[in-house]
Amino acid sequence: MVAREKLNQLKAKFGPAIQRADLPNDFRLFVFVESGAVKDICQYLFRDLDARYVISIGADDRPFSGQFMVAHNFAFDREHLLASVLTYLPADHPKLDSITGAVPAANWAEREMRDLVGIEPVGHTYPKRLVLPDGWPDGVHPLRKDVPWDHVPAGFDAEREFRFDDPPEGCTVVPFGPFHPTLDEPAHFRLYLDGEVVRGCEYRGFMVHRGIEKLAESVLTYNDIPMMAERICGICGCVHNVCYAQAVESAVALRPPRRAEYLRTIMLEIERLHSHLLWVGLACHIVGFDTLFMQSFRIREPVMWIAEKITGNRKTYALCVIGGVRWDITPELKAELRQVLHKLEAEWQPVVTAVLKDKNIQKRTRGVGVADRKAVKEFALLGPVARAAGVDIDARRDHPYAAYDRMDFQVITESGCDVWSRVVVRAKEVFESIKIIRQCLEKMEPGPLQAEIKDELPVGRMGMSSVEAPRGESHHFVITGENNRPRRWRVRAPTYQNLQGVPAMIKDQQLADMTISLGSIDPCFSCTDRLETIDLKSGMTKAWSQEELLKLAKSKRS
Amino acid sequence: MNGNLLLMILGGLANVALVLLVAPFCEGLLRKVTARIQSRQGPPIWQPYYDLLKLLGKEDLESGESPLMQRFAVYLSLATVLTVACLIPMGFAAPMNQAGDAVLLIYLLTLAGVCTLLAGLAAGSTYSLLGISREMMAMIALEPLFAIAIVIGAVHTGSFRLDTVLNGSVYAAGVPWSGILMLAVMLLSFQAFVQRVPFDIAEAETEIMEGALMEYSGPKLALFKYAQMAKLVIYSALFVTLFVPWGNGLTFPLGWLLFWAKVFGLVLLVTLVAATHARYRIDQALRYFAGLLAVAVGALILASHGY
């Protein structure tokens, strides 16, 4: 009903601009619209209907329809609806009005679309290169279907450097990254400092692109991709694994068996447990409180062991296939998992009690890295960052998947909008995860692990899925295709949106607060660095070419 | 007189050797206890000795803006700390107490901080400059504290002679209010003098990557680390002689053992505080130091009125 209702609202407002619509069920809505009306429709959805911006997807559809395709995805969280506004663009003229002016959160997604698919967002407020390496020639767009996955374009210029914006007057420039003790992956923030106060910054990331989406669309098959998907992230890999499988299942209307749904829920929550415990540890390390860092890693370790016992691996669980899962939990493992949870709960409770009372930690985190409700809306911030600002969103409840519709749990929210609130949200979510796993163990019935798939999956269907990763909602969009692989697969990890909010969080703060503010979104740069085909150096090392560095690294010092 | 001079030099050398020997042990103790608090096994207690030896054996690289100044800063740093070692009692009476007075001691302690500034300037990177600007801010607020403690002793005894000042002289008034106040101030700021959490702000590995030290490696890093370890011992020894003098008068092995037991006790206290706190921000730390400074000045005024 909700999907139909939203469609009618759009039809009433925009009439003939709405060409057709697809309502596969009450939780999904695909609206195909005229390209000229996209901007107004998106503005209407985002501002008037108060939808949450999710992601924009550009796709090269020329081999199939002779056109380019663009989708802007939105979510109505309270109404449990994911909506996609789609439009087709002529092959010779792929241009579309930018929506970034109306929907600031679309900033990166539109630039990425321009870099990788070559769809020009006309009137973009900050049309700078985002994803492609600095030396990459203009006019070559790796996600187009006529570009092979291993293509190295002619005219790659390793000498070309990234041009940074001019710093504001009276500010010194402090480079933060690409390598810094608190960055676990390369990313570069160029900070503008006035004394010890950060006045602004420019971000340059996407340094270790692995071309995962391109590989999926050109080399891998449906059931290979989950393995690749979970390698997007070293911490919340299972999220991408499940989210991809669900997106395909939603596209072809396939439902996995109930036992598989429970198993997915259990593994996702085990992942959240280890991720939150890891984060609390790292956050403490950043503010110099190493004792709690060590303690939370000690408490976390049994979670890793039980994951290894269930799936054979501490991380990268290789859990999903399309239509089911690959691992089962035996009665012995069930008993052991219960013990692990019991011990974890007993050990985590005193830590949380101590942290919540600790004035010293509060001193470093209260009022730091502030992102209020407005920032959450504008940048479409997600997960604990949003919940710490009192924005009550959680994909597990809002867009139920796997077995979450049968689970009884609380969505933890706080109202401080700062790093401290994010600490509290994450610390408390650990208990909710424990609760969910216990319910799964209680309710799980024997049954098959995988749905039977008799025919080839239908072609040209679209599916989307949202999974609540430990750091926020992960969203996958899939168009099914020929040769046993999808035509287009777009991954939007939560860090992709949360990182866009960081410059606002660190503005006018002490430099010392920069690392904990960045850390508080639990950034996962690899989740954003998933797209490019070639990993070449950006202009960070000036005196050395990549070849020289490699030679240096391989040769022994004399 | 000649015999006296020889004795002085020998005593000074003995103190230097003692500090050099004991400093890595204190560091090892600190690491081991920290590890135990963190539920870790921890490195062997001798590990800092091995670390120093390893670093000393590495290639001596020249880097940063001014390699010459970098080298000078590290030599000066260790030399300053060891000179202080000659001036203060290490369980025995101070061997060279005629060679200088309390004012010299205050100067030398400040010089140790200046070495860090030189090191940061020599590196010339943005992070090292941030490190020294933090160090400088902290120094301006901190150094007066120790100076005031020493001057209170001098006011009570009416002498700047080291052997009178460095013998519990802060309590040398009828009811030693100023001494007790100062004891509290020094206890609350001690972590900052030895640059441990929550006041390791000038190095803050996770923010500014060790600040002034970022360009140091190999033997030079070893010497700087050695100087920092020695600083922990020196400051602890100073604290003990100034504020916990009881038992100093005992005969040789007893008084000497008691002195070192007090020093190790202080190192343990430093460890405990460091392991249970998060790092402060420089502005928070400065506000904290400013409060302490106000109390210290109050103590000085009390002392000058005979309390």
Chain B residues in contact with A283 (beta carbon < 8 A)? none
pLDDT at residue A319, as a whole number: 92
In this prediction, residue A526 has a pLDDT band, given cuts at 50, 70 and 90, of low
Task: Tell me if A291 and B275 make a contact (CB, 8 A cut-off).
Answer: yes
Who wins on pLDDT, A58 or B121? A58
What is the β-pairing status of strands A509-510 and A197-204? antiparallel
Q: Is residue A383 part of a domain?
A: yes
Pick from A301-305, A507-511, B247-251: least confident: B247-251
Mutation target among A294, A295, A366, A518 for the B interface, most CBs of B within 10 A: A294
Same domain, A101 and A219: no
Pick from A315-319, A480-484, A499-503, B172-176: least confident: B172-176
d(CA A531, CA A214): 7
Q: Is residue A362 part of a domain?
A: yes
**CB pairs under 8 A, 24+ apart, for A153-158?**
A156/A536, A158/A536, A158/A537, A158/A545, A158/A546
- Does residue A538 carry a pLDDT above 60? no
How many cross-chain Cβ pairs, A to B, lie less than 8 Å apart? 78
Chain B residues in contact with A291 (beta carbon < 8 A)? 34, 37-38, 275-276
Chain A residues in contact with B201 (beta carbon < 8 A)? 512
| Distance to chain A for B278, nearest Cα, Å | 4
Q: Is residue A552 part of a domain?
A: no
In our burial notation (b when 16+ CB lie closer than 10 A, e otherwise), range B176-197 reads bbbbbbbbebbebbbbbbbbbb
- Does residue A199 carry a pLDDT above 80? yes
In which element (H, E) is residue A57 found? strand A52-61
- Of the three residues A130, A161, A183, the one that is the final residue of a domain is A130
pLDDT at residue B172, as a whole number: 62
Mean pLDDT of the region A510-536:
64
pLDDT at residue B38, as a whole number: 87
Closest partner CB to A291 (pick from B38, B205, B279): B38
Task: Tell me if A514 and B282 make a contact (CB, 8 A cut-off).
Answer: no
Who wins on pLDDT, A259 or B195? A259
What's the number of domains chain B is made of?
1
Secondary structure letter of residue A296 according to DSSP: H
Tens-digit pLDDT profile for residues A65-97: 999 999 999 999 999 999 999 999 999 889 999
Mean pLDDT of the region B2-31:
85
Task: Tell me if A511 and B206 make a contact (CB, 8 A cut-off).
Answer: no
d(CA A132, CA A144): 14
| Distance to chain B for A436, nearest Cα, Å | 29
Omega into A137 within 30° of 0, i.e. cis? no
**CA nearest neighbour of A393 among A142, A65, A52:** A52
pLDDT at residue A540, as a whole number: 41
pLDDT at residue A551, as a whole number: 62
Pick from A19-28, A177-186, A318-327, B291-300: least confident: A177-186
Q: B60 CB near a chain A CB, below 8 Å?
A: no
| Distance to chain A for B86, nearest Cα, Å | 34
- Does residue A343 carry a pLDDT above 90? yes
% of chain A residues with pLDDT over 70: 93
d(CA B11, CA B17): 10
Task: Tell me if B275 and A284 make a contact (CB, 8 A cut-off).
Answer: no
Mean pLDDT of the region B221-228:
89
Task: Tell me if A294 and B40 make a contact (CB, 8 A cut-off).
Answer: yes
Who wins on pLDDT, A514 or B84? B84
In this prediction, residue A558 has a pLDDT band, given cuts at 50, 70 and 90, of very low
Here the tokens at position A199 are: 């006045």
- Does residue A361 carry a pLDDT above 50? yes
Terminal-residue alpha carbon distance, chain A: 74
Closest partner CB to B284 (pick from A180, A284, A363): A363
Q: What are phi and psi of A305, to 5 degrees?
A: -65, -40
Mean pLDDT of the residues in chain B: 81
Closest partner CB to A510 (pick from B40, B209, B283): B283
Strand partners of residue A488? A479
In which element (H, E) is residue B17 found? helix B2-37
Q: B198 CB near a chain A CB, below 8 Å?
A: yes
In this prediction, residue A532 has a pLDDT band, given cuts at 50, 70 and 90, of very low
* Burial of A26: CB neighbours in 10 Å, binned 0-12, 13-18, 19+: middle
pLDDT at residue A533, as a whole number: 33
Yes or no: say if A156 and A129 are a contact pair by the CB < 8 Å rule.
Answer: no
Task: Tell me if B130 and A196 make a contact (CB, 8 A cut-off).
Answer: yes
Tens-digit pLDDT profile for residues A291-305: 888 889 999 999 999
**pTM attached to this predicted model:** 0.82
% of chain B residues with pLDDT over 70: 87
Secondary structure letter of residue A453 according to DSSP: -
Domain that holds residue A328: 212-528
Tens-digit pLDDT profile for residues A113-140: 999 999 999 999 988 888 888 888 888 8
- Does residue A265 carry a pLDDT above 80? yes
Tens-digit pLDDT profile for residues A421-477: 999 999 999 999 999 999 999 999 899 999 988 888 899 899 999 999 999 999 999
pLDDT at residue A38, as a whole number: 93
Tens-digit pLDDT profile for residues B25-75: 999 998 999 898 888 898 999 999 999 999 999 888 877 777 888 888 889
Same domain, A237 and A123: no
Q: Is residue A178 part of a domain?
A: no
Same domain, A122 and A221: no
Q: Is residue A151 part of a domain?
A: no
| Distance to chain B for A289, nearest Cα, Å | 4
What's the number of domains chain A is made of?
2
| Distance to chain A for B215, nearest Cα, Å | 14
pLDDT at residue B168, as a whole number: 63
With an 8 Å Cβ cutoff, the interface of chain A facing chain B consists of 172-175, 180-182, 196, 284-291, 293-295, 298, 360-361, 363-364, 510-515
% of chain B residues with pLDDT over 90: 9
Task: Tell me if A175 and B126 make a contact (CB, 8 A cut-off).
Answer: yes
Tens-digit pLDDT profile for residues A136-146: 888 889 899 88
Cα separation values, A470 from A242, A439, B66, B111, B166, Å: 14, 19, 47, 50, 57
% of chain A residues with pLDDT over 90: 55
pLDDT at residue A450, as a whole number: 92
d(CA B39, CA B45): 16
Mean pLDDT of the region A515-540:
58
Terminal-residue alpha carbon distance, chain B: 39
Give SS3 for A403: coil
Task: Output the domain CATH number for residue A110.
Answer: 3.30.460.80
Secondary structure letter of residue A87 according to DSSP: E
Same domain, A82 and A226: no
In which element (H, E) is residue A53 found? strand A52-61
ipTM of the complex model? 0.74
- Does residue A539 carry a pLDDT above 50? no
Q: B214 CB near a chain A CB, below 8 Å?
A: no
Kindly give, in sequence order, each residue whose CB lies less than 8 Å from that of residue A139, ignoring residues fewer than 6 positions away: A118
**Residue A12 identity:** A
* Burial of B46: CB neighbours in 10 Å, binned 0-12, 13-18, 19+: exposed
Task: Tell me if A288 and B133 make a contact (CB, 8 A cut-off).
Answer: no
Task: Output the domain CATH number for residue A293.
Answer: 1.10.645.10
Mean pLDDT of the residues in chain A: 87
Q: Is residue A232 part of a domain?
A: yes
Tens-digit pLDDT profile for residues A344-359: 999 999 989 988 888 8
Domain that holds residue B49: 2-304
Yes or no: say if A515 and B204 are a contact pair by the CB < 8 Å rule.
Answer: no
Who wins on pLDDT, B89 or B248? B89
Pick from A158-162, A246-250, A406-410, A503-507: least confident: A158-162
Chain A residues in contact with B39 (beta carbon < 8 A)? 294-295, 298
pLDDT at residue A169, as a whole number: 83
d(CA A410, CA A413): 9
In which element (H, E) is residue A210 found? none
Here the tokens at position A475 are: 């969203």
- Does residue A185 carry a pLDDT above 60? yes
